[in-house]
Amino acid sequence: MTLDSCKTSFIEFMLEARALKFGDFTLKSGRKSPFFMNAGAYVTGRQLKELAGYYAQAIHDHFGLDFDVLFGPAYKGIPLAVATAMEIYERYGKEVRYCANRKEIKDHGDTGILLGSPLRDGDRVVMIEDVATSGKSMAETVPIVRAQGDVTIVGLIVQMDRNEKGLHSSHSALREISELYGFPTAAIVSMKEVVAYMEEEHLLSPEIRERLQAYYQEYGAIED
Which residues are designated catalytic?
A: 106, 108
- C-alpha to C-alpha distance for 198 and 176, rounded to whole angstroms: 27
Please tell me whether the peptide bond between 42 and the residue prior to it is cis, using omega within 30 degrees of 0.
no
Count Cβ neighbours within 10 Å for each residue of 20-43 and write b for 16 or more, e otherwise: bebeeeebebeeebbbbbebebbe
Q: Reduced to 3 states, what is the DSSP secondary structure of residue 131?
A: strand
What number of other Cβ atoms are within 10 A of residue 174's Cβ? 25
Q: Supply the Cα-derived Rg of the chain in whole angstroms.
A: 17
Count Cβ neighbours within 10 Å for each residue of 107-144 and write b for 16 or more, e otherwise: eeeeeeebbbbebeeebebbbbbbbbbbbbbbeebbeb
DSSP conformation letters of 4-45: -HHHHHHHHHHHHTT-EEEEEEE-TTS-EEEEEE-GGG--SH
